[in-house]
Structure 1
Amino acid sequence: MTKRILLLVTLILQFSFLHAGIVILNGLTHSYKIENGKVYKGKIAIENTGTHPQSVKLFLQDFTYHADGTNNYTAIKTNKRTNGEWIKLNTNLITLKGKEKTEVFYEITVPNQIIDPGSYWSVLIVEPVEDIKPSDQKIGVNISSMIRYAIQIITDFETEQAKPDLKFESVKVEKEEGRQTVKIAIANNGNLYCKPTASIEIYNRKTGEKIGTYSSLTMGLLPSTSKIFPIDISKVPPDKYNATIMTTDEEENAFALNVELEVKND
């Protein structure tokens, strides 16, 4: 009986994966440099990779995130730097046939006067709509997998008068997926979106000899948000070290911090 149930769940999961195959073709971050009173046009390219028709709804939300892992999706105007009210979609609901591609268009109408220079943003949620068809003949547990996308629409105003302000919130060494990893929490306390990279230089505490330099991936960081920038240091032997942590954005703005670091056997 147990084998039959597992087989039924496997088949349902496989069917659901084939059924729901919505993907975004042109990226999850759309950025614009804007001016007062101007109109900017954009589009979202969507494909249904599955074999069955799929309805998709689209709507705007405000969005923030923090290094503790929280992601906040809220109503437009919750965030004081939202641009959600400037954006108008040409549709809020589409239906794609199997293997069909389409484009949803939007317009950003910038107000005649923006007071504060810097970045304004919201996210466009693209969410498959599951058609519920009740049937008395269904037996067992019906499991479906539906993936929603959050596409950031970022508008930068008078960037020459704005800047990011990156701060280190915490530094921890933890084991992640079997590898020793430095987890650096970085906050952007400024008013401009940026794409920083974190790096760490590790030195022998007794001799001062440089052990190596290790870097994170580059990630986007919105104003008043924070993220964990993980760095793999699994090649560093267990010991206590001195280290210099640095973060640099695409404009070569650099911030540094000296720390003591302990790499354990565990």
Structure 2
Amino acid sequence: MNIIKHLLLLITVFSHFSFLQAGIVVLNGLSHTHKVENGKVYRGSIALENNGNKLQNVKLFLQDFTYHSDGTIHYSAPDSHTRTNSGWIRMNTNLVILKAKEKTEIVYEITVPDQVSGPGSYWSVIMVEPVEEIKPDENRHGVSITSVIRYAVQVITDINTERAKPDLQFEGIKLGKENGKRFLNVAIANKGNLYCKPTVTVEIYNKTTGQKTGTFSSLAMGLLPQTSKSFPIDLEKTPAAKYNAVLIATDEDENAFALNVELEVKDG
């Protein structure tokens, strides 16, 4: 999950079923990485656009977050985990009002402390959340559902990276099917102290003949320290059989972590 988009359903009892979706989009990505030094100040920005047809209020606020390979994402108050940088970040505003089709930039400033507890990556997220005004219709009965898309924009600061590194570990593998396609889901944890974007590759060999069946890879995804993700690998039309396989997780600096496993691909 390298974009972090969250669907918040606000359900209130009145009128008929109606669906209202805010037209706010983030134009310059959901992950901003800064290489920083102790005691210095850095600036970044979040570009927003209201591509809807009505005026839109948008609030912005900081949160800490972590995620795990089971799909869970944990949001918490700022300064609630050991590698947070939320106390370093200030925004030029916490509320903007955008007219239809209007664009703007939210500027944030990162003031790095003179002393940081250790090298590596520190992070938090700036939440971008449209504010919908819910107006009850007293003349109708039923349920009105307002769908609000909010964005979590990661702000990652890397400090003293020459003394930091990721440490990728395999947490589990699972064969599964989705939309008729067979996938190998590989859970990877980053036990190190540096953010990285690994790719997972699997080389598959027929267990009986030793013949190589194929090499398949996942997409690259960002992985923060002390978090984990599931990396899905499309096995395409791998025949049903028993296989020996080599899993290789490689980050963008070509650091590689390997594991030998056995797989059994079944029909159906």
Please indicate the TM-score interval, normalised by the length of the shorter structure: over 0.9
Q: Distance in 2 between matches of 1:162 and 1:25?
A: 31
**Equivalent AA in structure 1 for residue 247 of structure 2:** I
Aligned to 1:206: 208
Q: CA deviation at 1:247?
A: 0.4
Determine helix, strand or coil for the equivalent of 2:113.
coil
Partner of 1:147: 149
Gaps of 5+ in 1: 1-7
Q: Which runs of 4+ in 1 moved over 3 A?
A: none
Pairs aligned (count): 253
Show CA shifts across 1:95-130 (max 9, x none): 111111111111000001113000000000001111
- Return the offset for 1:144: 1.8
Matched, 1:114 2:116: yes
Q: Residue 196 of structure 1 contacts residue 218 of structure 1 at CA under 8 Å; is this kept in 2?
A: yes
Uncovered stretches (5+) of structure 2, i.e. residues with no partner: 1-15
Write the deviation string for residues 132-178 of structure 1: whole angstroms up to 9, x where unpaired.
22332344321221100000000000000000000000011111221
Bigger relative contact order, structure 1 or 2 (CA pairs below 8 A, ≥6 apart):
2
2:264 counterpart residue number: 262
Deviations 1:71-108 (A, max 9, x none): 00001111100000000011111111111111111100
1:265 Cα deviation after fit = 1.0
Contact 1:180 1:263 in 2 (8 A): no
User: What is the CA–CA distance in structure 1 between the aligned matches of 2:134 and 2:233, rounded to whole Å?
Assistant: 44
Residue by residue over 1:174-213, the C-alpha shift from the partner in whole angstroms, topping out at 9 and shown as x without a partner, is 1122111000000000000000000100001111110000
Match of 1:26 in 2: 28
Match of 1:78 among 54, 67, 80: 80
Distance in 2 between residues matched to 1:199 and 1:34, nearest whole Å: 32
Q: 1:99 is matched with which residue?
A: 101
The answer to whether the aligner puts 1:181 opposite 2:175 as a matched pair is no
Q: Which has the higher helix share?
A: 1
Which of 127, 130, 146 pairs up with 1:128?
130
Give the TM-score, by structure 2 length.
0.92
**What letter corresponds to residue 142 of structure 2 in structure 1?**
G
Q: Over aligned residue pairs, what C-alpha RMSD do you find? A: 1.1
Residue identity opposite 1:118 in structure 2: G
Aligned equivalents of 2:59, 2:209: Cα separation in 1: 61
* Structure 2 CA distance for aligned equivalents of residues 115 and 105 of structure 1: 26
Q: Do residues 243 (structure 1) and 245 (structure 2) align?
A: yes
Query: In structure 1, which of residues 229, 232, 251 is the aligned counterpart of residue 231 of structure 2?
Result: 229
* C-alpha distance in 2 between matches for 1:23 and 1:93: 15
More strand by share: 2
The equivalent of 1:3 in structure 2 is none
* TM-score normalised per structure 1: 0.93
